[in-house]
Structure 1
Amino acid sequence: MPLAYRGTLTAADVDVMSWPYAAIALIDEGRGLPEWPRFLAAHPDAEIRWKLASCPGLPPDVVDLLAADPDVEVVEEVARWTESPVTARLARHPDPRVRIAVAFNPTTPLEAVLALAEDPELPLRWALSERTDLPQALYARLADDPNDRVRAAYARNPGIGPALIHVLAADPEIQVRRAVAEHPHVPLDLLAELVVDDRAAWNPLPRISAATPAELAELAGSPHTAVRMLVAQRRDLPAELRDALAVDTDASVVRAVAPHPGLSEELLRAMVARHGVQVLSRVAANPDASGSLLEFVTRHRPGVRNALKEVAEHPRATGPALLPCLADRTARPPAAAHPALPPEVITGLLADEDRRVAKEAAGNPSLPRAVMVELVP
């Protein structure tokens, strides 16, 4: 099977009777022969039929055959993965495992899902958590679950409406409230309240990513540092908004905006002057940082190890900026690979006791040609 998935085998190489698993791998990739699925759907080995059942694009008659398989695990696999209308029929299957699998399938018709939701035999709390087309009353019932992870799954579902968003935003469990903040349509005023309650936990959020320029400007003027920090994480801010955040009084906001392209060297140096080690590595990560600025970063005292690594990997780093990076264990290998490193230094690193450093130096394009020739066996 690995050979088939890697493209080494083709349909012409495979005897379906001798290598059924390889044939299934090719069917799964859309490279099998048309007659194979019908042959394998009647295979005496239930595991082979089970594997076939998850393949996409099976002919309708093959899906129908698998949906009527005597092995319930085969039927369950069909119910979970097929895009065929057979799911409507399988929603009435006598085995609850099959009906749950139908509920997990995103392509099951809504009317079948609603019928399953009324089935007292089925624990559907997880099964419908990714459906975005359910009635709000059903979402409210499913989200009213004692398990906070289940409530969190529904809290981030784009299908839930404003009323349920507000209910879940008041949930006593922090992970549920964090999930509400990840909802793509959470109201901005509510998002601000959630962020203020838990400012240390936020990664870039969908609602912030989708905010309009006017909304971004409003959020950037928030009295809450965490809100401004979320705005500062965007890398497509209007220049005037980006520059305003660059001179924010809070280091966490400045740290977030520091890698933003387009910032002037004057602003980047001012960040370091005002906030020091708190922003040093992020300034070094700015794609527009000049060689002289990167030298300035490596001379800063106290230093920051992450800043040295950022400099070592920066395409604009100069030789003087790279030399201090060689003193750091983490920054030393990328510095050894940087073409701006002086040739004599690169040559000296070929004998470095750290084999990673020696290997990077050996592959450095600035290694003198004569030394390269000596390295060739």
Structure 2
Amino acid sequence: MVAFYSSALDGVAANPALPTHLLLRLIAFDGGGEGPPFQALHRPGLPEQAVAAVLAHPVLNTRVQFARSGQAEPGQRARLAVDPSPEVRATVAYGPEWTHDPRKKVRPLPDAVCARLLADSEPSVRSALLDSPHLAPSFLVSLARHPDPAARRAALRLWDDLSADAHTALLGDPDPEVRRSAALRACTHDARLTAALLRDPTALPVALRRGLLRHADAERLLSEGVHLAELARNPSLPADLVDLLAVDPDDGVRLAVSLRPELTEARRAAIDFTVAPHARGDVDWVAAGIADQDVLRRAATSAHPLLRRAAARSPLLPPDLLRLLAEDTDDIVRTHLAVYHPDTPEHVLMSVYARLGGTFSAWMTTGHPRFPREGLAARFADHPDGTYRQLAVRDPAAGPGLIERLSHDPDTWTRQAAAADPRLPLPRLLEALTLPELARSAGANPALPPSEMALVMDEAGVPA
């Protein structure tokens, strides 16, 4: 019975209507040594009583899961910075590994908490903090003169925000790794630094891509034929060498040349290159200009699919470019619009939803502000494709009878969507709670009476 009700318990743990007293009961659960379901710990807006119970929970995994939650407030997670377990402290230091919305950034821990974690006695905690992608710029800048060379290397992420004195100090740092990393940041405008880095095998690939190249060095590197794709991306590569690489036997080299920002569309089209069907469009100069209207216009109007894919990842596209890319025939362009742009047209959202299906589309229906709701029942309740029938559940005009009908649908996703809908009649909701494929969805249904939530906990062995 415990295994049968485990999915129902997961649903109850995520139920937005779960009363506080039942939430506290669930959080206290040891889960056979694993702690309560993670859904209870990744809920937004946990009340103070629940947070206090998590912080004092005897099961290590409970505290680790809460430290990993992208839903928790930074101040709540910060309270685990003094946890007795190095694993918990390291998890807090690194921060959430994923969020429910890829467009939203995780709010960083306060600088004072980060400073405490950086002074932690455990190396794993210090390393986790410096590896974290969620550090505040103010904290990173403060690390430029930190006694730990790993901290000084982390400060280099914000090279352009550091003072001239900090640049000088880091370029002459006593630690060779810091000096190398600083030089790789500064070499974009310094041919002397670039020439020195080209003699360092460790730094060579990045220096080739970023550094300010002397013509003689560029010629020599081309003749050596090493890391030519990186060389082809270098913004300072002389035009005559660009022409040579444009006809290189290696398709990857030719593709890199085709993405150079100075090329005209005619010159770009003359290069023979191949684009992988699912390549994301990671183009340095477009990513750097993600808010620059001129950069976005050049990329969005290009015939090169990777440039259009890169432009489509900007949430700041002006209306005319948004309309242009919304009619693009490239699937990845439209997918990027659906993920990153808040004003993506409905027909694009619908086409991406139908093409991708599964959990990604389930996220899009709840996470995108423009995903439609009204009129979906009339349009899709009897659609031959279950991917569309589940959309009918989103319609606020769908009545209990339709929701109940869809809870018996041949398509599993459609049944689950209906089982989680509060309009589902109570008898069918209670029945769904006993069906393995619907138990989790039914457990998460806000209309589930608290007495039934408590019964699920009883059956799962959660102590009263």
Partner of 2:167: 60
CA distance in 2, matches of 1:61, 1:189: 40
Quick one: which of 259, 264, 269 aligns to 2:378? 269
Q: CA 1:132 to 1:317, structure 2 compared with 1: closer, same or farther past 3 Å? A: farther
Quick one: which of 100, 105, 113 aligns to 2:204? 100
Partner of 1:90: 193
CA distance in 1, matches of 2:311, 2:400: 31
Paired residues in the alignment total 316
2:312–2:337: 8 Å Cα contact kept in structure 1?
no
Partner of 1:162: 265
- Structure 1 position 336, deviation (Å): 1.1
Counterpart residue type for residue 381 of structure 2: V
1:49–1:74: 8 Å Cα contact kept in structure 2?
yes
- Structure 1 position 254, deviation (Å): 12
Three-state SS of the structure 1 residue aligned to 2:452 is helix
What do residues 138-194 of structure 1 show as CA deviations (whole Å, max 9, x unaligned)? 5555565555455555656666542354346x64x45179567998656779579xx
Partner of 1:280: 389
1:152–1:175: 8 Å Cα contact kept in structure 2?
no
Q: CA 1:99 to 1:269, structure 2 compared with 1: closer, same or farther past 3 Å? A: same
CA distance in 1, matches of 2:432, 2:336: 32
CA distance in 2, matches of 1:219, 1:346: 44
**Identity value in percent:** 16
What do residues 109-157 of structure 1 show as CA deviations (whole Å, max 9, x unaligned)? xx43766533425734343576667677655555655554555556566
Quick one: which of 288, 298, 319 aligns to 2:406? 298
- Structure 1 position 349, deviation (Å): 1.6
Counterpart residue type for residue 380 of structure 2: M
Partner of 2:213: 112
Counterpart residue type for residue 385 of structure 2: G
TM normalised by structure 1 equals 0.54
CA distance in 2, matches of 1:28, 1:290: 50
Partner of 2:293: none
Partner of 1:175: 276
- Structure 1 position 271, deviation (Å): 2.4
- Structure 1 position 340, deviation (Å): 1.2
CA distance in 2, matches of 1:181, 1:30: 27
CA distance in 1, matches of 2:115, 2:357: 55
CA distance in 1, matches of 2:347, 2:154: 52
Pair 1:348 & 2:451 matched: no
What do residues 211-249 of structure 1 show as CA deviations (whole Å, max 9, x unaligned)? 8469848975x9x897998799576356xxx47997x9x
Counterpart residue type for residue 336 of structure 1: G
- Structure 1 position 295, deviation (Å): 0.7
Structure 2: gaps (5+ residues): 1-85, 95-111, 157-161, 287-295
Three-state SS of the structure 2 residue aligned to 1:93 is helix
Partner of 1:336: 443
Counterpart residue type for residue 162 of structure 1: E
Counterpart residue type for residue 29 of structure 1: L
Partner of 2:83: none
Q: CA 1:232 to 1:155, structure 2 compared with 1: closer, same or farther past 3 Å? A: same
Three-state SS of the structure 1 residue aligned to 2:155 is coil
Quick one: which of 29, 41, 45 aligns to 2:140? 29
CA distance in 2, matches of 1:330, 1:203: 39
1:291–1:317: 8 Å Cα contact kept in structure 2?
yes
Q: CA 1:205 to 1:84, structure 2 compared with 1: closer, same or farther past 3 Å? A: closer
Q: CA 1:177 to 1:140, structure 2 compared with 1: closer, same or farther past 3 Å? A: farther
- Within a 5 Å distance, the mapping from 1:39-50 to structure 2 comes to 40=147
Counterpart residue type for residue 409 of structure 2: R
2:246–2:253: 8 Å Cα contact kept in structure 1?
yes
Larger radius of gyration: 1
CA distance in 2, matches of 1:312, 1:163: 55
CA distance in 2, matches of 1:323, 1:86: 68
CA distance in 1, matches of 2:403, 2:451: 20
CA distance in 1, matches of 2:387, 2:200: 56
What do residues 229-282 of structure 1 show as CA deviations (whole Å, max 9, x unaligned)? 8799576356xxx47997x9xx759998994534432x4432232433242234
- Structure 1 position 337, deviation (Å): 3.1
- Structure 1 position 328, deviation (Å): 5.2
Q: CA 1:72 to 1:209, structure 2 compared with 1: closer, same or farther past 3 Å? A: closer
CA distance in 2, matches of 1:12, 1:209: 36
Three-state SS of the structure 1 residue aligned to 2:458 is coil
CA distance in 1, matches of 2:403, 2:209: 56
TM normalised by structure 2 equals 0.46
Partner of 1:308: 415
- Structure 1 position 9, deviation (Å): 6.6
